[in-house]
Amino acid sequence: MGPKPVTLKELAERLGLSPATVSLVINRSPVADSIPQLTKDRILATAQKYKYRPSFFARSLRAQRSFTIGVIVPEVSDGYSASVMSGVEDHLLQEGYFYFVVSHRHRADLIDEYPRLFLERSVDGLIAVDTPWTLSLSVPVVTVSGHNQVNGVTNIVLDHARAAEVALKHLFQLGHRNIAFIKGQEFSSDTEVRWANIEKAARQLGLPIAPALISQLKGDSPSPELGYEATRKLLASRKP
């Protein structure tokens, strides 16, 4: 049996500081910003030396929070979702949060069921990536690529209007007029909005969009192979 873990009180006594000061630094409280950096460094070094670990349950009880976030994605292996999750994970780690991630695979029943399951596990909030969202919940919700206006939900979206304008203007100024387009899969939250902005930018430039040069990605898989195949067919068609 290993040595008994050091307590917060014992750690504070070794440092000659109050337990409150040590707790503020260990738990990364915003109030700790007023504590001198040398003191914070000494606290963290001593905590590491004695292998001190704050009690998650005590912290959760004091704050009345679970310090967990629920994350909903279409597919865990999807490149876009994985990229977003990498940033989410880094930030949550810095803030001392843990997260649960689930994939709904574009099933409406799972999109409805997972939020309820997360709430039953007392998460402090939800993040939904490229997922159609219509629910107003008792915890904060952030959607990435969400376009519905829902109470209590913060939408983080790309500037599709600017992206379409910059891309088409660049090609137009280079003298290109016969431009091919690959539309995203219909289940993606961004597809409809992105295409609407492409059409708008094309109209503003007086650039006609030829139906024969539009390829719609099919299927329910986000595999890059779909884009490869669509590009191959467009190039093979040799449309003027």
What percent of the chain shows pLDDT beyond 70?
91
pLDDT reading at 61 higher than 60: no
Spatial separation of the C-alpha atoms in residues 104 and 54, rounded to whole Å: 34
CATH H-level, domain 66-156: superfamily: Response regulator (3.40.50.2300)
Fold of the 8-62 domain = 434 Repressor (Amino-terminal Domain) (1.10.260)
pLDDT reading at 63 higher than 80: no
CATH architecture of the domain 160-237 equals 3-Layer(aba) Sandwich (3.40)
- Give the model's pLDDT for residue 226: 80
pLDDT tens track for 89-112: 888 888 878 899 999 988 999 999
Q: Do 160-237 and 66-156 have the same topology in CATH?
A: yes
pLDDT tens track for 108-126: 999 999 999 999 988 999 9
* 181 phi, psi to nearest 5 deg: -130, 140
For residues 15 and 43, the answer to whether their CB atoms sit within 8 Å is yes
The H-assigned helical ranges of 35-78 are 37-49, 56-63
Confidence of residue 78 (pLDDT cuts 50, 70, 90): confident
Can you give the pTM of this predicted structure? Answer: 0.69
- Segments making up each domain of the chain, as ranges: 8-62, 66-156, 160-237
Residue 179's closest CA among 207, 205, 200?
207
Spatial separation of the C-alpha atoms in residues 142 and 155, rounded to whole Å: 6
